[in-house]
Structure formats: C-alpha cells, structure tokens
Amino acid sequence: MPAKQSRKPLAGDDPSDYDQPSVTVDLVLLTVREGQLHVLLIRREAKPFAGRWALPGGFVRIEESLTAAVRRVLREKARLTGIFIEQLYTFGAVKRDPRTRVITVAYYALVSEGQLIRAIGQSADLARMPVHVAWQGEAGGQAEVRGPGGKPVRLAFDHKEILGMAVKRLRGKLDYSPVGFELLPETFTLRQLQQVHEAILDVKLNKPAFRRRMLDKGVLQATGRRETGVTYRPAELYRFVDAAGSNNREEN
C-alpha cells in the first residue's frame, strides 16, 4: 500500500481529502507497412520493467489537458506533430503499475509509414514492430508483437492489453469513419487503401466491391495524377477530402 503522498485522510467531497492516484497518458502509434500493422515502441531505461519495450507515455501535468499531454509525449519522444490522435480507453487497475497507483489514459495515433520511419530516425531506443491481433480463438483479442528476429516481444505493464484494444478499436471504426486515410500519405492509390484495410482487418477484400464502396462515399478526390516508378499500368492517385463533418473539439 504505497502511502507516500499522504494527506489528511478525512471523508468528504473535496479532492484533497484523499490520497490521489497519479495520471499518465500512453500512446499507441500505429502504421501499416508491407501489408501489416506496426506499432512504435520505446525501450524503458528506468525501473520498473527496465529494458523492456513499452508504449511511449508520460505523466499528465497539472495545467495540461489530456490531448496536450499526448501531443507533448509525441513531440518529445518521437518528434511528431500535427498527426491524428484519438482517445482509446482509460486503464485503472490498482496493481497495473508496481510502484504506486497509476491510472493511464490511452490514446492511439495513426501515421503513414514514411512519417514513422522519420520519427524513429537513428534512435536505438525506438522501434517499429509488427502487431498481430487474432479475431478469436485461444488468443482472441490478444495483441502479439514480434521483434527483429521474429520472436515474440513482451511489453511492459499492461501495454499488451492496451495495444490489443487499439487494434480492435481501429477495426471497429474502419468501416464508418475515415481513420483509414490517416495511415496513408497525402495522395494514394485505391490499391494502397485496400491494402491498409486488409492489414487492419486481417482479411482479403473483393476489389470491385471495395472500389465501389470507397468511391460511393464521396470523400475521395481524383488528383488526375498517377503513381510513378511501377513497371505496370500506373494507378490513379486520390486525395481524401473531409465530407464537411470535421467535429474535432480537441480540448480534453
């Protein structure tokens, strides 16, 4: 029972009457590379779990909103700004951090492959690793991360659970929200978009049906330009145009 932050243990409706849990944010930064989901991980230096791979995160400061804390973590640890983030879930099991009571508000962020590669740069403490989340069965909903040698990587804290939830959330939102576009560069081909969907959902999709569905949504704008550097017929490049409904409050 860590009681190092003791204050008066009185009952009541005032925040300072009780010991308070600490609050952190943790970030699941995802991208799609070669048809597979990848996550950004950081190697922990300090205890607990020193040496283990973990999701980037940090404490929420007293005059900092949750999204501001996430953006600060993103800036400090991965030198990334202006990317898509969304709140995932808040994890508050009493023993999830062996030190003291820590409640973490998890967010997920989506970037294109190129952005993630630039973010990692030469750092030895940052890595992108492939993630696989089974739909059901023995490992139903459990995230599996594989390291360079292809062998499973154990994450710090409850980060495996957080990662699994992020992938499941992404799967759920893919159909009815434009999250898929956040994983691609500014312009992209329909084939790339389909590969992103296939990587997230872990299924093969029907080409004509996929094209119809996407084009019928009315959020894709043909650029008139085509991809370059391919040896076959180059595909049209599209751009995502938000269908007026950009309800980003962004103050939490």
Partner DNA sequence: GCAATAGTGTCTTTCAGACACTATATC
Partner DNA sequence: GATATAGTGTCTGAAAGACACTATTGC
| Contacting positions for a second copy (CB under 8 A) | 1-5, 7, 13, 15-24, 46, 58-66, 87, 89-94, 99-103, 105, 140-141, 247, 251-252
- Please give, one letter per residue, the 3-state secondary structure of 50-65: CCCEECCEEECCCCCC
Decide: is 207 part of the binding site for DNA (CB under 7 A). yes
Decide: is 113 part of the binding site for DNA (CB under 7 A). no
Decide: is 206 part of the binding site for DNA (CB under 7 A). yes
C-alpha span between 199 and 202 (Å, rounded): 5
C-alpha span between 210 and 51 (Å, rounded): 43
Among residues 208, 218, 224, 245, which is the contact residue for DNA, using CB under 7 A? 208
* Own/partner long-range contacts of 93-98 (Cβ < 8 Å, ≥24 apart): 93/158, 96/157, 96/158, 97/48, 97/157, 98/48
State the minimum distance, in angstroms, from the CB of residue 101 to DNA: 45
Decide: is 168 part of the binding site for DNA (CB under 7 A). no
Is-contact 37 130, C-beta < 8 A? Answer: yes
State the minimum distance, in angstroms, from the CB of residue 38 to a second copy: 25
Decide: is 231 part of the binding site for DNA (CB under 7 A). yes
Cα 212 to its chain centre, rounded Å, is: 28
144 binds, among a second copy, DNA, none (CB under 5 to 8 A by kind): none
Site string for DNA, 232-251 (x = CB under 7 A): xxxxx---------------
Is-contact 28 108, C-beta < 8 A? Answer: yes
Beta strand pairing call for 102-110 and 143-145: unpaired
Burial of 232 (0-12, 13-18, 19+ CB in 10 A): exposed
Decide: is 212 part of the binding site for DNA (CB under 7 A). yes
Decide: is 218 part of the binding site for DNA (CB under 7 A). no
Nearest C-alpha neighbor of 195 from the set 31, 36, 28, 30: 36
Is-contact 201 212, C-beta < 8 A? Answer: no
236 binds, among a second copy, DNA, none (CB under 5 to 8 A by kind): DNA
Is-contact 110 83, C-beta < 8 A? Answer: yes
63 binds, among DNA, a second copy, none (CB under 5 to 8 A by kind): a second copy
Map tokens 């590669």 to a residue.
117
CB nearer to a second copy: pick between 2 and 114: 2
233 binds, among DNA, a second copy, none (CB under 5 to 8 A by kind): DNA
State the minimum distance, in angstroms, from the CB of residue 84 to a second copy: 17
CB nearer to DNA: pick between 172 and 234: 234
Decide: is 35 part of the binding site for DNA (CB under 7 A). no
CB nearer to a second copy: pick between 58 and 147: 58
Site of interaction with DNA (CB under 7 A):
189-191, 205-213, 216, 226, 230-236
